């Protein structure tokens, strides 16, 4: 699956960019929420997500890069999130958070920073619908891919198989036309792409190309 990241969209023409994603082969909208505390950047919040939801014809995959995410689950549900991911590093009671997200009718995701070993997910993987594996340090679009992510994908795929889980592996950060096939081969299910899609001359064609490379 391909999930273009709205963080790299043109906010003055957000409707146009949402429509472009609607009309493309993309599967999901990846929506990055940053609070200036968990990450050193602030992106956008609930009103913008509500606006995107009005026009979006594909599910919203909302990635919370915020501290105390559990305070806002209901708000993100109301804003239109279909998948809601919290950071492992921001969650003291991760199991409780995942259950709360699911109880609200959303798919529950866990995001992990590049320094967080995937082995830490072994006891939570069966409760996790999606792992958002950061392949850059979270906070900014347009950074370069951290190569060790490939090893982490393989290791996580093994844990998922051993545990008989149906968790999706999503790769977030630095995804390009050059590395998409290798990510798929290592075991990734969902590729997030911000910079690669939105700096392309023809974003629709680039999304189609990413789909083809990761089939």
Interface with ligand DX5, residue 30, by CB under 6 A: yes
Within 53-82, which residues bind Zn ion (CB under 5 A)? 63
Tokens of 156: 């996580």
Q: Which of 66, 124, 125, 175 binds ligand DX5 (CB under 6 A)?
A: 175
Sheet holding 190-193, edge to edge: 2-4, 190-193, 168-172, 130-134, 107-112, 83-87, 60-65, 29-34
Active site residue 127: no
Burial state string for 2-26 with b = 16 or more CB within 10 A and e = fewer than 16? bbbbbbbbeeeebeebbebbeebeb
Active-site choice (17, 35, 61, 172): 172
Interface with ligand DX5, residue 142, by CB under 6 A: yes
Cβ-based nearer residue to ligand DX5, 128 or 195: 195
Structural contact between residues 146 and 174, judged by C-beta atoms closer than 8 angstroms: yes
Indicate the DSSP class of residue 209.
H
Q: Which of 78, 113, 116, 143 binds ligand DX5 (CB under 6 A)?
A: 143
Cβ-based nearer residue to ligand DX5, 45 or 142: 142
Active site residue 202: no
The footprint of ligand DX5 (CB under 6 A) covers 5, 7-8, 30, 32, 63, 136, 138-143, 172-175, 192-196
Active centre residues (catalytic): 32, 172
């Amino acid at each position: 699956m391909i999930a273009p990241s709205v963080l790299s969209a043109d906010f003055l023409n957000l409707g146009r960019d949402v429509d472009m994603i609607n009309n493309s082969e993309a599967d999901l909208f990846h929506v990055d929420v940053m609070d200036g505390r968990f990450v050193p950047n602030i992106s956008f919040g609930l009103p913008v997500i509500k606006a995107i939801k009005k026009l979006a014809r594909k599910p919203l995959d909302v990635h919370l890069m915020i501290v105390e995410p559990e305070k806002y689950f209901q708000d993100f549900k109301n804003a239109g999130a279909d998948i809601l991911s919290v950071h492992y590093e921001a969650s003291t009671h991760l199991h409780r958070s995942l259950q709360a997200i699911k109880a609200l009718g959303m798919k529950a995701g866990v995001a992990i920073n590049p320094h967080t070993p995937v082995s830490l997910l072994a006891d939570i993987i069966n409760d996790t619908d999606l792992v958002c594996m950061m392949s850059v340090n979270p906070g900014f679009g347009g950074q370069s891919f951290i190569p060790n992510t490939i090893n982490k994908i393989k290791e996580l795929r093994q844990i998922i198989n051993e545990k008989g889980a149906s968790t999706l592996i999503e790769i977030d950060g630095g995804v390009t036309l050059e590395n998409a096939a290798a990510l798929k081969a290592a075991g990734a299910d969902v590729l997030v792409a911000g910079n690669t899609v939105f700096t392309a001359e023809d974003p629709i064609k680039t999304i189609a190309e990413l789909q083809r490379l990761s089939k």
